[in-house]
Amino acid sequence: MSSGHQTLWLALIIGNSRWHWGAFEGDRWLGSWHTTHLSEAQVQTLQRHHFAPATWPQIDPLVAPPPALINGAATWPDSPELWMASVVETPVAWLADYPALHRVTLAEVPLHNTYATLGVDRALALVGAGDRWGWPVLVIDCGTALTFTAGVDQRLIGGAILPGLRSQLRALHAHTDQLPALDLDLNQWPQRWATDTAGAIASGILHTQLAGIRDFIAAWRADWPSGTVVLTGGDGVAIYQAITKQTPGLDQWINLDPDLGFWGLRACQQQGLKSLKPL
């Protein structure tokens, strides 16, 4: 990578649980990294140093941009473009003074037939999936919320939302007197017929979530036999491994892609939308 190349730009998707960062050189993907929710002071530090790779250890020693970005970053460009979408409002103001910021809202995502309260993260993931995997496409985002978002020819068909795995576990603990809080280990999928309370909670939540996902996939395949399915989100890998193990042959219908939102931001950036101006 030519580190001073003017086409280097950054992508940021601020979610409910984490901040997701990505880097591109033009349309070439350099990689992603993730942080917990940052403070205003941390954001200001990053801005002062133009988000340069050497700055990230000051924020969190365990967080570093991908090697493709670091290895070519001897001379970092001044104020690389930052294309950002957020489902959380407070951090948006912290970035408002960055001179090369492009904030992407639902109105700027190249997706038709949307509705006012559709999350920009869902819209970006759908557009990214269509761009990367082709239309028609069903996106299953396994994160804080489990969402199903379907589209054809850059047009939203519709979808569904329910609590994600960890959200269900937290809710069950918070709203009952004696059910324990559980740490979720998706590397050890629980047996269906549990003989203790913790195991029963894990079995109920995990197996019924898999059943729900299979049901939506079956409905999608019935309506759109030529359509594809893409899993994404923080629990996407574990869900993909579990559901394809339980249902032989399903892996032929499901793709795993953790970076759909970034492909959606890339689609916006490539369009050079006239309505988007640096804030």
What amino acid positions are annotated as catalytic residues?
A: 121
Count of CA atoms in the C-beta half-sphere (13 A) of 115: 6
> Residue 2's closest CA among 67, 81, 75?
75
Rounded to whole angstroms, the Cα distance separating 37 from 20 reads 10
DSSP tag of 192: S
Strands in 19-25's sheet, in edge-to-edge order, are 28-35, 19-25, 8-14, 81-86, 101-103
Query: Would you call 86 helix, strand, or coil by DSSP?
Result: strand
Tell me the two tokens of residue 21.
């960062």
Tell me the two tokens of residue 67.
């090697």
